[in-house]
Amino acid sequence: MKRIFKTFNILFLFLFCFTYSSVQAETQPPQINAEGCALIDASTGQVLYGKNEEKVLEPASTTKVMTAIIALEKCKLDDEVTVQEDFTKIDGTAVGLLKGDVVTVRDLLLGLLLESGNDCANALADHISGSTEAFSKLMNEKAKELGALHTNFKNPSGLPDPEHTTTAHDLALFLREAINNKDYVQLSTTPNYTITLKNNPSKTIVLNNKNYMINKNSRYYYPFALCGKNGYTTKSNHTYVAAAEKNGHVLVASFLNALDKDQNFHDMQAVLNYGFDNYSLVHLYKKGDEVSQYKITNNLTIPVIASKDIDYDVPKGQEDSVSSEIKIQDQDLSKQSFNEGDNILKGTVYVNDKEYTTMDLAAGTSRKYEFPLSINSLSNNANSELYIGSVAIVLAGVFGLRKLINIKLKK
C-alpha cells in the first residue's frame, strides 16, 4: 500500500511540474529570427512585445503599406491611370506594365499588394504627385501624422536607399492605420486577380497573393490572419508586417531584418499567439456612452458623450485591476450654441491614476444660446419691454437729430 501511495505521489509531482512548466513556457516571449519586432494592439496602440522595436532599419516592400494608404486617400478605385514608364526601367519586382498602358487605381493597388509590383508603386506615385520624389513627401507627412517619428521614405516601393528607413514600431503603426480602411483589407486579402488593360483588352496580367498566412492551402495558413505584406532586398533581408483578429481582439506585428523567410511565417504566428494568449482587451468607454455631466451655467447641466471607443490592454487575469476616470478640460460654454453630437470638450483619460490618452467629448443634447436682446427672446415679457424701450429711445434720438439737421439747413 505504501509503495502504491509513493508511486502515486511521484506521478502527481511529475504531472504538476509538467503542467507548471508548460504554462510558464506559454507566457515566455517568443524567440524570433528578426532583428526588429513590434507587437501592438490595433485598438490601443500599446506595445505588447518588442525586440529592438525602435531600431532604424530598412523596410523593403512593406513600404507599400504606406503607398496604399496614400493612394486610397487621394484616389477613387475606378480612376484610370496612364503608365509613364516601362517596367523594364524599374529595379526589383514588377507585374509587367509598359509606358502608355491604361489601368485603374484598383488594378495598381492589387498589383502593389498581391505581387509587390514596383511598377505599380511608381505608377501610383506619378498619378498622384507627378513624381516618386513628390509622392515620398506625402508619405513622410502621413508617417508623422500617425506618430511614426523615426521613418523616412525616399520612394514608394521600398527599393534600397540609405535614407529610406523605418522602425518595427513605426511599421506596425502603418498597418494599424491601413486596416481601418475596408478597401485596403479587401484588396490585400484578394487571393488572385487578373488585370485587363483599358487600352488593350487583349492583354491581361495575372496576380497571385504572396501573403501565405491567409491562404488556406498553404502550410503557413493562420486562421486568425487578417492581412499582411512581406518584403525583401539584399540589404534589408526579409521584412514582414501582419494583422490578426481573435474573438474581436485585433493585433498587428512587424518584423525587420529577418534572415529566414520560411521561419518568418512561423515566427509571426508565434508572436501573434503570444499576444492573444497573454493579454486581454478591457473596454473602458464605448462610443456613445455618457461619461459625465458638465455644468454650462448655474441653471444648466448637460450630459457629455464619448466620441470613440477607449480600450486598454492588461495581462490576462488582471482585468479587474483596471480603474479609469475622465478629467474634463474646463471651458466656458455659457454663450455657445451646439447640436447634439457636436464635439464641444476635451477629456483626458486616466487609467489606475496615470494619464493614458485624450478624446473629444460630444454634447448629449442640443443647446441654442440667445443674446438677451435678440428678437427670439421677445417671448419673455421682461426682455420684450426692455427691447421696446431701447428701440424707442434710439428712434427718438434719430428723429431729434434729423429735426436739428433740417433746422440748420433752413437757416
**Residue 320 host element (H or E):** none
Residues 6+ apart with CB under 8 A from 293: 301, 302, 303, 304
Residue spans per domain, the chain: 33-280, 286-363, 375-410
CA–CA separation, 17 vs 133, rounded Å?
A: 60
Q: Which residue has the cell 526588429?
A: 36
- Annotated ligand binding at 89? The verdict is no
From residue 286, alpha-carbon distances to 61, 282, 342 in Å are 36, 11, 17
Instruction: Please give the pLDDT value at position 174.
Output: 98
Instruction: Please give the pLDDT value at position 12.
Output: 45
CA–CA separation, 34 vs 228, rounded Å?
A: 16
Instruction: Please give the pLDDT value at position 398.
Output: 58
Instruction: Please give the pLDDT value at position 382.
Output: 47
The DSSP 8-state label assigned to residue 63 in this structure reads: G
CA–CA separation, 230 vs 210, rounded Å?
A: 8
Instruction: Please give the pLDDT value at position 405.
Output: 63
Q: Which three cell numbers stand for residue 247?
A: 474573438
pLDDT tens sequence for the chain (411 residues): 445 444 444 444 444 443 333 333 346 889 999 999 999 999 999 999 999 999 999 999 999 999 999 999 999 999 999 999 999 999 999 999 999 999 999 999 999 999 999 999 999 999 999 999 999 999 999 999 999 999 999 999 999 999 999 999 999 999 999 999 999 999 999 999 999 999 999 999 999 999 999 999 999 999 999 999 999 999 999 999 999 999 999 999 999 999 998 999 999 999 999 999 999 999 999 999 999 999 999 889 999 999 999 999 999 999 999 999 999 999 899 888 999 999 999 999 999 999 999 999 999 999 998 876 555 544 454 455 555 555 566 566 656 666 666 655 555
Q: Which three cell numbers stand for residue 100?
A: 502608355
Fold of 286-363: Peptidoglycan synthesis regulatory factor (PBP3), Domain 2 (2.60.410)
Instruction: Please give the pLDDT value at position 4.
Output: 47
Q: Which three cell numbers stand for residue 160?
A: 534600397
- The residue ranges of DSSP E strands in 42-169, in sequence order, are 47-51, 80-82, 102-104
Active site residues: 61, 64, 116
CA–CA separation, 401 vs 411, rounded Å?
A: 16
Instruction: Please give the pLDDT value at position 369.
Output: 86
Cα Rg of the chain, angstroms = 31
Domain 33-280 -> CATH class? alpha beta
Q: How far apart are the first and last CA of the chain?
A: 139
The DSSP 8-state label assigned to residue 146 in this structure reads: T
